[in-house]
Structure 1
Amino acid sequence: MGQSHFTLSFPLRSPVDANVLAEQLPAMMPDLFEANDKIGRVHYSRFTFLSARSLLFLGDFDGEFDHLVTDLAKLSGPVFDAILRHVVDPPPMPVAINANAFANWTKAHLLEAVNIYTAYPEVSAKEIKALARAAEVDGGGELHPFLVILPIKSYLHFVTVQLILRARGKGTTKDLDSVGTPHFAQFVPLEDNQIGFFTVYDGSFDKYIADFTKNIGQVFDLIFRFTKSPPPSPCRKHLQEFIDFAAGASRAPIGFYQAYPGLSVQDIHALIADSKPQSVSG
């Protein structure tokens, strides 16, 4: 059961619909969180508005998307019914009794990530929770989603950035491992020649960005050549400007779900290491 990521785009009918959902969604998140807990295959999830015409739903999960979205339809159907009332050409409702139709609709609205990073690809959400219970470890860390949107100058540059990101796939993974605080990360091509960089990370924003620029800043230096109104480069020499740019280009999350709240990347690595059989010498 491998890990994966989804970015699901809901095309909204109007800015008025976006405003209504912005008011309604936060109150519905406990029901979605309960469904995620029951399903047991979701590591993290969150919503955010890309624009007044587009709502994104992002998740990091185990297994196949078809199975996950069908379970979500059955267990949290009213949440998606409320969203779909504001969406262009929605699938049949209620989704709880039209789960297959909802799954087909969502597959047509998935945005494919250029690359996907995970800090602990060998374990599932259920396994991490089980390891934490067995070790009696309670997460005391601070985790946050980071949802930054990069506006690219033109469609040609948009394609070029994707080619660069694909070519640097393994290098980007190594760089993110060096940062040591991202749990999951993705670069996702979006509408209107935009690139989304979505992560879940440990610690404070400023410290994350400082560590980030030291280890993966060169990737952003490349992307910024094709970005509208970028900060000065190289990032590592213009840290405050990069922090200000990232803060201004980020989107606010709605409903940040954590399967194992407060466990840092290093906590999870330690749990995995402790669970492996120890070799006996002599």
Structure 2
Amino acid sequence: MANPLTLLMPLIPGTNPLEVAKALEGFQPQLQAALTSIGTVHYARFLIMDTSAPNLQPSPTGKGPYVLAVITEYDGSFQAYIGDFVAQVGNIFDALLQFVVGGKAVTPVADNTTAFGAFIAANDLSQQPGSQGLYEAYPLTVQQVLAG
């Protein structure tokens, strides 16, 4: 059974969203390899939203404030998933959290695993009241899908 993560992290006011996008682009090969090696991630995506835009899409004339979103579906418990994040992509989060409100307080994430988990839980829309859960088209784990 998959679990959702809808992590919405406000960027520090004045942060250039293109700088964050460039950092994300540089981490793509490492991120792809790490998420594959974790073996429990169904899907994952990072995106930047402009809360001043009606459609939330950033543009060259956007004013912000901006939000960095991480949206994933994963197998297993939230605690295990956070442990995998710290072990496999902790350095990526260390780099990205420098742009995020409250991010410096939980970096490096390897030294602040409990605080990092609490930070993610507090900013995870999927764990907040009113969340509608996750529709699953199939009740298989990533490993069961890969095994065919």
TM-score tier after normalising by the smaller chain length: 0.7 to 0.9
Q: 1:97 to 1:120 in 2, by over 3 A?
A: same
Q: Equivalent residue for 1:143?
A: none
Pair 1:40 & 2:35 matched: no
Amino acid at match of 1:103: G
Residues 23, 96 of structure 2: 8 Å contact kept: no
- Which of the numbers 99, 116, 121 marks the counterpart of 2:113? 99
Segments of structure 2 that go 5 or more residues without pairing to the other structure are: 51-63
2:146 is aligned, of 129, 138, 155, to: 129
The amino acid of 2:116's aligned partner reads F
User: Larger relative contact order (C-alpha < 8 A, sep ≥ 6)?
Assistant: 2
The match for 2:138 is: 120
Matched-pair contact (CA < 8 Å) for 2:42–2:72: yes
Deviation at 1:15, TM superposition (A): 4.5
| Contact preservation (8 Å) 2:79, 2:117 | yes
One-letter amino acid matched to 1:63:
G
Counterpart residue type for residue 121 of structure 2: K
State the alpha-carbon separation in 2 of the partners of residues 86 and 17 from structure 1: 9
- Change in Cα spacing, 1:34 to 1:89, as seen in structure 2 (3 Å) is same
Q: Which amino acid aligns with 2:124?
A: L
How many residue pairs get aligned? The number is: 129
Structure 1 residue 36 displacement after superposition? 1.3
Cα deviation 1:13-57 (Å, max 9, x = unaligned): 125342210111111022122221221100110011122421110
Find out whether 1:9 has 2:23 as its counterpart.
Answer: no
| TM-score, structure 1 as length reference | 0.43
CA distance in 2, matches of 1:58, 1:15: 24
Quick check: 2:20–2:96 contact (8 Å CA) kept in 1?
yes
TM-score, scaled to structure 2: 0.80
SS of the residue corresponding to residue 6 of structure 1 reads: strand
CA distance in 2, matches of 1:40, 1:48: 22
Please say if residues 44 and 59 of structure 1, whose CA atoms lie closer than 8 Å, have aligned partners that are also in contact: yes
Distance (whole Å) between structure 2 residues aligned to residue 15 and residue 25 of structure 1: 18
Distance 1:117 1:40 in 2: 20
CA contact (8 A) 1:39 1:71 kept: yes
Look up the SS of the partner of 1:4 in the other structure: strand
Answer yes or no: is the 8 Å Cα contact 1:70–1:102 preserved in 2: no
**In the alignment, is the contact (CA less than 8 A) between 1:70 and 1:100 conserved in 2?**
no
Any residues of structure 2 matched to 1:25-174 within 5 Å, and which? 25-51=24-50, 52=64, 53-90=66-103, 91-112=105-126, 113-121=131-139, 123-131=140-148
Residue 96 of structure 1: CA displacement? 2.2
For 1:117, the aligned partner's letter is Y
Cα distance in structure 2, aligned partners of 1:15 and 1:45? 27
Cα deviation 1:204-246 (Å, max 9, x = unaligned): xxxxxxxxxxxxxxxxxxxxxxxxxxxxxxxxxxxxxxxxxxx
Aligned residue for 2:101, secondary structure, equals coil
- C-alpha distance in 2 between matches for 1:26 and 1:101: 26
Other structure's SS at 1:54 match:
strand
Q: In structure 2, what is the equivalent of residue 20 of structure 1? A: 19
Aligned residues of 2:3 and 2:76 also touching (Cα < 8 A) = yes
